[in-house]
A and B are shown apart, each in its own frame.
Chain A
Amino acid sequence: MKPGTRLKSAACDTEVMVIRCAEGTIECGGAPMAEARPADAAPLAADFSAGTLMGKRYVDTEGRYELLCVKPGKGSLSVDGVALVVKDAKPLPASD
């Protein structure tokens, strides 16, 4: 999958932009994400229902995946069943 691809959740309103990815399955709310939303919504898995926050970047512990939330929703993000975590924001340096 190309970086810059937009993925939609099958279980909630979440949309992400792929910044970095490998071959695993990217999921939201416990269901695989895809470029198009399916006609029938997937159920929101209880273990993946903490929600996504607009503008936050989500990463795995090995640094292979990074997703930017461009639309928030009730599901939370995972890859092959392993939850992603929020990457901390950095302050802006002095000058541009």
Chain B
Amino acid sequence: MRIEPDTLESKTTGPETGAPEGVRLAIPLARWADRQLEALARDHGLPRLDGATLLGERAANGGFRIGGRVSAGLGGSRLLPTRDGKWFALTLIRDIDRELLPALFGTTDLAVHDDAAIAATTLEHECAELLERGRALGLPVASADESPVSAPVEVIERGEHRARPRGHRLLVVDLSAIWAGPLAGHLLWQAGMEVVKVESRTRPDLIRRDDPSTFDLINQGKANLLVDFASHEEKARLVDLIRRADIVIESSRPRALRHLGIDADALVREVPGLVWLSVTGHGARGEAAGWTGIGNDCGVAGGLSRALARASGRMGYVGDAIADPLTGIVAARSALRALREGHAVRIGLAMSAIANMALAEETGFDPAALEIELRTWGLAVGRPFPPVSRRSLTAAVRPLGADTHRYLAEPAPC
């Protein structure tokens, strides 16, 4: 169904307008997330965490409102109509990304900080053209009508089996940043593992600075290491630590990891039992491995915004960077399953495909409830996010680099 941009101009619906009577506002797919968490508690001994909480706690921390065609919170992602009547999602959160806009639109004549000018220029282009060029440029972009090109979860490399002695405390090296990867690490910490968060001296996880409440919740209890990736010695010690680990989590683009001199596939082949999670926007293999994607645009690429428009008549974002927490949960579950099998494996997780999978599974599970949730969500633009039960910290949040010495000081024994 094509939604005419004109019909979407009314900025906000009043709080009550159009929402079905007596229907509680809820983040769509929270029930799907909750079923995954139920399985994690049942199969792997995690405490019973609430799906709505994990999908909604960042928005609750930030006091977010439902933004419609602008993403919740800082509003870094926007859905824009194109000349051919489609919808293009463009995420701009760094100035360095805005510098790419003249190349995206093929013009020097654009005020790159003027959102109205960006929207007007988008309307002069076809969605597919912008999508292709945006991806070549490394911008997080999506179309509301694309289909994910990768499997949600796929095995990329395999290695040897390792038998772990009873009582062995599993070690997780978490190289990831922002939300999806760190949440996976958090769930593994909830499962009782020792989790070591590694940050780069030049590219630390900025959530610590910009959203400390969320950072603390998903990074509590993790040791913290600061590594200078320009230093061969520090990097060699990190690789030694990885060789002692049971699980590695990273959310770099595959080539960025290779540029850093870390060869995930080789480590998986060499280290028996090592489970390596590669969290990506759109896939860890082929052309999609070079694309970027973050939570909001990946939700669009996974078909959530199109589903929202079908149900409510309004194009918009579903949830808050929803592909992030969905992926974190799937990643943790995939790692725990792989550990049980015991073979070394590198698992690629594609955020857009995971959002798409969750949507498809929820549509199969309870289509009527999902339809009502999407409709209610689509008509709730401007309203605060639904309240969720909040978690409090149960462990310390280690300062940046507090544990570097403890984990990396000693050269590894030969």
Chain A residues within 8 Å of B, Cβ to Cβ = 2-5, 17-20, 53-55, 66, 68, 70, 88-96
In the complex, what residues of A have CB within 8 A of residue B204's CB? 91
Please measure, in the bound complex, the distance between the C-alpha atom of A96 and the C-alpha atom of B295, giving whole angstroms: 8
Knowing that A4-B105, A88-B202, A95-B62 are A-B contacts, what are 9 other residue pairs whose CB atoms are under 8 Å apart, sorted by A's residue number?
Answer: A3-B106, A4-B133, A19-B100, A53-B259, A91-B177, A92-B178, A93-B94, A94-B206, A96-B295
Closest to A89 in B: B203
Interface segment, one of B70-78, B325-333, B398-406: B70-78
Query: A93 near B210 (CB under 8 angstroms)?
Result: yes
Contact A93:B206 (CB < 8 A) given known A3-B106, A53-B259, A55-B290 = yes
Q: Which bucket holds chain B's interface residue count?
A: 35 or more
B74 in contact with A95 (CB, 8 Å): yes
Of B2-10, B36-44, B134-142, the one with at least 4 CB within 8 A of chain A: B134-142
Task: Please state if B71 and A91 are interface contacts (CB–CB under 8 Å).
Answer: no
Q: Which B residues are in CB contact (< 8 Å) with A66?
A: 99
17 A-B pairs within 8 Å (CB atoms) are namely A5-B106, A19-B99, A19-B102, A19-B103, A19-B137, A20-B102, A53-B259, A90-B96, A90-B203, A91-B177, A94-B210, A95-B76, A96-B73, A96-B74, A96-B294, A96-B295, A96-B296
Most chain A CB within 10 A, of B103, B211, B253, is at B103
Cβ–Cβ contact A3 & B91, under 8 A: no
In the bound complex, do residue A17 and residue B136 qualify as a contact, i.e. CB atoms below 8 Å apart? yes
Binary contact readout B241-260 vs A (1 if CB under 8 angstroms, 0 otherwise): 00000000000010110010
Given A92-B178, A94-B207, A95-B93, CB of A70 within 8 Å of CB of B136: yes
Chain B residues with CB under 8 A of A19? 99-100, 102-103, 137
CA distance A77 to B94 in the complex (A): 25
* Residues of chain A lying within 8 A (CB to CB) of residue B73: 95-96
CA distance A4 to B108 in the complex (A): 10
The 3 closest A-B pairs by CB, nearest first: A94-B210, A4-B106, A3-B102
Within 8 A of A (CB), among B235-284: 253, 255-256, 259
Closest Cβ–Cβ distance, residue B191 to chain A (whole Å) = 26
Contact A92-B294, Cβ < 8 Å, known A3-B108, A4-B133: yes
In Å, the complex CA distance between A91 and B177 comes to: 10
* Chain A residues positioned under 8 Å from B11 (CB to CB): none
Is B394's beta carbon under 8 Å from chain A? no
B103-161 CB contacts (< 8 Å) to partner A: 103-108, 133, 136-138, 140
Please judge, given known A-B contacts A53-B259, A96-B77, whether A4 and B138 are in contact too, CB under 8 Å: no
By the criterion CB–CB under 8 Å, are A95 and B210 in contact? yes
For residue B209, CB closer than 8 A to chain A, the reply is yes
Contacts A2-B106, A17-B137, A96-B76; A55 near B256 (Cβ below 8 A): yes
